[in-house]
Structure formats: C-alpha cells, structure tokens
C-alpha cells in the first residue's frame, strides 16, 4: 500500500473497503453451540429413557455432566481468546448476552430448587434458551439462530400444555433447532471463509 | 461553499486504512492490520507509531504464549478526527458536483 497523494474518491473507496473487510469477518466457528447442543440433547434423552425404563433411582444425575462441559468451556475460551487477532464490538455484545444467560440459568435453577416449581421448569428453561439464541442471531445477522430462538419460545408454550415428563423431549427438539443445526451451519460458514 | 482542510495524519493511504479498520472493531492485533492492509511490517510499524504519537490510537504491547503481541485500539480523539476527515471528504465531493 502506497502513501502518495490520493483523491477524496480514493479515500472514500479505501475507507469503504477496509470497513467491509473488518465487518465481513466471521469468527464464530459453531463449536460451543455443537458442544452444548449435543450434550443437552443426550442428557434430556438419557434422562427420559432412564425414567421410562426405570433404569436408575436418580436419572437426573446425567445433568452433572454439564459441570464438566462448563469447565472444558472455560479452558477452551481462555485458549481461543489468546489466539484472537481481532476483537469486534458484536463479539463483545454476544459474549455478554451468553454471560447474562448463564447468570439467569443459575438463578432459575436456584429459585426452582427453593420453590419446588418443577412442573414449569421446561417452559422456563426453553424460554431462557430462546433468548440468547435469538439475540445472537440478530447480532450476527444469522437467520438459523433467529429461527432456533423462536422455536425454543414456541416449545416453551407447548411445554405448558403437556405432561412435565415430555418436556425432556421438547428440550431435545429445541437443541436440534436452536444449537445443533445452526452450529453445523456456523461451522460450514466459518470453514468456507477460511478456505 | 467553504471546504475543510484534509487532516494530513489521515490523508495517507496506509494510516487511513489502519484507522478505518480500527473504527470497525474493538481492538486488533498488528498481524490483523498487516494482513488486511497488505503492508510490510516495517512500514506498518512506522505508520502505527505516527498515529499513536498523534493520539489517534492506543498501542498495547503484551506477551501471549511467549510471543510478543501489539494490540491497537482507536481513541476518542481518533474517532473524532476520522469523522472530521470523512466530513471534509464529503465537502470536497460536493464541490465537485455540478
């Protein structure tokens, strides 16, 4: 790039070109959507099957695996943050959306533990899953995540109409629509950009 | 119609490219700026120092996995100067319009 005199038109073209280069950079590889999508799918289906077949006394113990995933996620994020060569405003917003989601999930689990309101647990979880998914889709301008978020909200209403035990199946279906399918599409988009 | 003078710090291709990239992101590492501007490391380093001396960008040097990292971030003064520069460019363009 030369630093000779250039016209106002050249300047505007250069500004436009650089802003587009930074704007079109897509840094989401979908890994965490896939990790959590598959994990929650297996946990919900696992608990449902164990409950139906009376395999264990405490089938809800499968959810303990999410703690391992949370620890793994922290290590993964620390490592990937170190490798990042650029940080965008949209990534920052998305990070805070998911931090808020984590806090809300913790408060909800704590509140439900105190109030024993387990009959509405799936509707509340599905409503919460939908919010960060939809907002991330809006910020990233990525339609599959927006659709996934809406599917979660629709399933949250469905969860109030059926027996609580089937809420686990709704949770599994929500994971496919909200995190697994968009996760694979994000991965494909990321790979296409970097090839 | 009066037209504004173009800021000589920004009216240079490489410095303008760097500021345009930094205006779009929260912060960027030297390697990102080098990749996007196709500049040589030496030239980019000189221009980054000029922008830093003018107070348009902040430069933080740190180590990550034993490798040195140079992180650049636009300042409030940099954003204001960029906006003034774009506004001055528009006044030039308007003068050219019959």
CB atoms under 10 Å from CB of A38, counted, come to: 16
- In this predicted structure, the answer to whether residue B62 has a pLDDT above a threshold of 70 is yes
Q: What is the pLDDT of residue A71?
A: 94
ipTM field: 0.84
Distance from CA of A23 to the nearest CA of B (A): 7
What three-state secondary structure class fits A156?
helix
Q: Do A15 and B86 touch (CB under 8 A)?
A: yes
Task: Say what the pLDDT of residue A20 is.
Answer: 85
pLDDT at A69: 94
Domain ranges of chain A: 87-194
For chain A, the residue count is 195
Note the pLDDT tens digit of each residue in B26-57.
999 999 999 999 999 999 999 999 999 999 99
Partners of A8 on chain B (C-beta within 8 Å) are 6, 89, 92-93, 96
pLDDT tens string A38-67 = 999 999 999 999 999 988 888 888 999 999
Cβ of B12 under 8 Å from any chain A Cβ?
yes
Question: Could you state, in order of their start, the residue ranges of all structural domains in chain B?
Answer: 13-96
Helix (H, G, I), strand (E, B) or coil at B62: strand
> How far apart are the CA of A64 and the nearest CA of chain B, in angstroms?
33
Which chain B residues touch A92 with a CB distance below 8 Å?
26
List the CATH code of the domain at B13-96.
1.10.10.10
Neighbours of A164 (CB within 10 A): 14
């Amino acid at each position: 790039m030369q630093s000779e005199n250039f016209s106002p038109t050249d300047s505007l073209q250069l500004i436009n070109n650089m802003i587009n280069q930074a704007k079109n950079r897509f840094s989401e590889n979908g890994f965490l959507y896939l990790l959590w999508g598959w994990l929650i799918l297996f946990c919900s289906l696992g608990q449902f099957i164990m409950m139906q077949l009376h395999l264990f006394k405490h089938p809800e113990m499968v959810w303990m695996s999410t703690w391992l995933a949370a620890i793994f996620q922290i290590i993964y994020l620390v490592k990937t943050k170190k490798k990042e060569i650029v940080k965008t405003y949209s990534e920052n917003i998305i990070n805070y959306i998911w931090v808020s989601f984590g806090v809300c999930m913790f408060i909800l689990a704590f509140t439900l533990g105190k109030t024993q309101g387990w009959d509405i647990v799936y509707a509340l979880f599905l409503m919460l899953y939908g919010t960060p998914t939809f907002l991330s889709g809006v910020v990233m301008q990525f339609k599959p995540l927006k659709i996934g978020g809406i599917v979660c909200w629709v399933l949250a209403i469905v969860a109030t109409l059926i027996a609580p035990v089937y809420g686990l199946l709704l949770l599994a279906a929500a994971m496919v629509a909200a995190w697994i399918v968009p996760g694979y599409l994000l991965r494909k988009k990321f790979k296409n950009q970097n090839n | 119609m009066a037209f504004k003078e173009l800021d000589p710090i920004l009216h240079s291709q490489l410095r303008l490219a760097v500021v345009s990239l930094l205006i779009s992101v929260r912060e960027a590492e030297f390697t990102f700026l080098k990749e996007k501007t196709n500049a040589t490391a030496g030239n980019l380093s000189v221009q980054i120092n000029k922008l830093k001396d003018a107070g348009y960008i902040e430069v933080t040097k740190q180590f990550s996995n034993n490798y040195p990292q140079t992180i650049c971030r636009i300042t409030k003064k940099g954003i204001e100067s960029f906006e003034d520069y774009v506004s001055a460019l528009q006044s030039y363009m308007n003068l050219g319009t019959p």
